[in-house]
Amino acid sequence: MRTAALAFVAPNAAPATAVCLWAEIPQEETTEMDEQVQPHPAMRVPERWLAVLRIAVGVWFAKAIFTKLSLTLAWGFLPVPTASERWIHVMPTLVGKYADGNPVGFFREFLQSTVITHAHLFAQLTAFGEVVVGLGLVFGCLTTLASAIGLVLVVNYGLAVQWQGSAQQGFHYMLITALVVILGARAGRMWGVDGWVRAYRPGSWLARLSLG
């Protein structure tokens, strides 16, 4: 049993006059009341679940480190990352297939007249773009910028393959939705460099940027 004090003012009493009553409330009722007031444990830290989503999407992009990048020697001795020969060779073939049956006229024209004719440039852009997005999301660094670049990539990927069926449509729709949520929630401020910088280096240039 729990004892509770209840105060009320009589209708004709003076403003400062109150009557205090002591009442015993059954323990079961108080427990139910406490449960109604206290938030569910899973909802106490929604920002952590946003961080989990951010990292999961980042890992998907970061796989490009292994599938689309390789090292080359600049000036014969300095190793620098570049799009792999495999990706440079495969990308225009894939883009050609995506363009052939694409019902979106303006985008089909863009793929055929711009992307395929400048295949080496777009191979580099897509490879490095995916890696930048992946690392930015995994480490929560400049998350707003990373998710915005990711949106540009995924929207273009989606336009290229959406005509191939509902599976492609659904995948890209969910990925776009996840990136919009990450961008809008600034999910890098939990378990990320963006949050650490704002907490411990608030005067740094990185903290002043509105990109995290």
pLDDT tens column, 90-141: 999 999 999 998 999 999 999 999 999 999 999 999 999 999 999 999 999 9
Report the largest interatomic distance among the alpha carbons of the chain, rounded to a whole angstrom: 97
Looking at every residue in the chain, the average pLDDT score rounds to 85
Alpha-carbon distance 130 to 178, whole Å? 16
Alpha-carbon distance 130 to 52, whole Å? 19
Q: Phi first, then psi: what are they for 37, rounded to 5°?
A: -80, -40
Question: What's the average model confidence in pLDDT over 45-51?
Answer: 92
Alpha-carbon distance 54 to 62, whole Å? 12
Alpha-carbon distance 207 to 212, whole Å? 8
pLDDT of residue 149: 97
pLDDT digits (tens, 9 = 90+) for 138-151: 999 999 999 999 99
Question: What's the average model confidence in pLDDT over 8-28?
Answer: 47
Strands 78-83 and 69-74: antiparallel
Q: Are 99 and 87 in contact (CB under 8 A)?
A: no
Q: Reply yes or no on whether the pLDDT at 7 is more than 80.
A: no
Polymer length in residues for the chain: 212
Share of residues in the chain with pLDDT > 90 (%): 68
197: tokens are 């910088």
Q: Which has more confidence, 37 or 61?
A: 61
Alpha-carbon distance 124 to 126, whole Å? 6
Which own/partner contact pairs does 21-26 have at CB distance under 8 Å and 24+ positions apart? Answer: 25/1, 26/1, 26/2
5: pLDDT confidence band, cut at 50, 70 and 90? very low
Encode 15-39: b = buried (16+ Cβ within 10 Å), e = exposed.
eeeeeeeeeeeeeeeeeeeeeeeee
Q: Reply yes or no on whether the pLDDT at 26 is more than 90.
A: no
